[in-house]
Structure 1
Amino acid sequence: MTTERHSRPVNLETPPPSPRERFYRRERQSVPAARRFARDALADWEIGPRADDVLVCVSELATNALVHGVPPGRGFLLRLLPYDGGVRVEVHDSGDGVPAVPHGEGGEPAEGGRGLLLVAALADKWGVGPRAPGKIVWCEFG
């Protein structure tokens, strides 16, 4: 008795990494915790060349969420989304307002808001999107 085997193509490609997210309460230790969470994800995804830039932006966006975007008793969501060797960082909060890079007199940066200047300088793109309630502040690194 003979049996016939049917060969089927096998997908040998590695599936893309899954997004990671974590919720943080409105407390000071959330910023270093968010940075550690991001560092671990970047290491798992082997995103090394721009990891330091990504971590600075995670710190700045998390700090901005805590200082300006998270009402008392709430928190923020950090979401990391890998794509084609890059990563998108999103910070979701329930606060009002739209963050912007501040400008002081004569084109000099204003006293506050320098974190967004860093994000704008380090990330390939950044922006703000709607969320009900609140907003999503994001940045991308190719």
Structure 2
Amino acid sequence: MSTLLVTPDTGTPGRTTSRSRRGQLDMTLNMEAELLAGVRRIVREHLRWWRVDAEASDRLLSAVNELLTNVLDHTARDDNGFRMASLLVQQVPDGVTAIVRDNDPRPPVPVAANPLAECGRGLALVRALVDESSVSTTDAGKDVWIFVSDLGSTERR
């Protein structure tokens, strides 16, 4: 059984939906900057519901926020004017995974960031926050997968 969650109305046309069931949150987003705070809130509440510890939750939330910001900064709008992305968060043994999917097939390119630059640190930040990450690409886009360990979660299940 799944529950449709209410996501913030940003006034932009297009679909933004959330589906939730035990240990899994699946969101389809018409990405706009105004959505980020609401997405973080929804993910945070699910991590709390799943009893993920605070440190793992903070790391996952920061990494997911950065990945969704990258969708805003680095992907083009589709033919309908939407910048669609999906977010799948799952509780797995020993931690939590998240997959951010967008419609840009170009893999993220690591950049040596200038310490004074206002951008260019996103991928390095994500890699520093998570325990594992990978990227897979297709003609339709890419998936960025991350894993954050939560060793205490197995004791609470």
User: Normalised by the size of structure 1, how large is the TM-score?
Assistant: 0.77
What RMSD over aligned residues (CA atoms) do the two structures have, in Å? 2.1
Give 2:105's aligned residue.
96
> How does 1:7-86 map onto structure 2 within 5 Å?
17-48=22-53, 49-71=55-77, 72-86=81-95
> Contact (CA 8 Å) 1:38, 1:58: kept in 2 or not?
no
> Contact (CA 8 Å) 2:75, 2:104: kept in 1 or not?
yes
Give 1:126's aligned residue.
133
> Contact (CA 8 Å) 2:105, 2:138: kept in 1 or not?
no
> Contact (CA 8 Å) 1:26, 1:75: kept in 2 or not?
yes
Q: Give, as a single letter, the amino acid of the residue that structure 1 aligns with 2:102.
A: D
> Contact (CA 8 Å) 2:23, 2:50: kept in 1 or not?
no
Instruction: Write the distance in 2 (CA, Å) between the matches of 1:95 and 1:117.
Output: 19
SS of corresponding position for 1:96: coil
Residues 96-117 of structure 1: CA deviation (Å, up to 9, x unaligned): 311032125xxx6794331111
Instruction: Write the distance in 2 (CA, Å) between the matches of 1:24 and 1:30.
Output: 8
- The structure where strand makes up a greater share of residues is 2
Give the number of the structure whose alpha-carbon radius of gyration is greater: 1
Q: Give, as a single letter, the amino acid of the residue that structure 1 aligns with 2:84.
A: G
Q: Give, as a single letter, the amino acid of the residue that structure 2 aligns with 1:30.
A: L
Residues 41-80 of structure 1: CA deviation (Å, up to 9, x unaligned): 1011100131111110011001001111352423111110
Residue 18 of structure 1: how far off its partner (Å) = 3.3
Q: Give, as a single letter, the amino acid of the residue that structure 1 aligns with 2:71.
A: A
Instruction: Write the distance in 1 (CA, Å) between the matches of 2:85 and 2:121.
Output: 20
SS of corresponding position for 1:88: strand
SS of corresponding position for 2:33: coil
CA pair 103-110 structure 1, distance change in 2 beyond 3 A: farther
SS of corresponding position for 2:42: helix
Unpaired segments of 5 or more residues in structure 1?
1-15
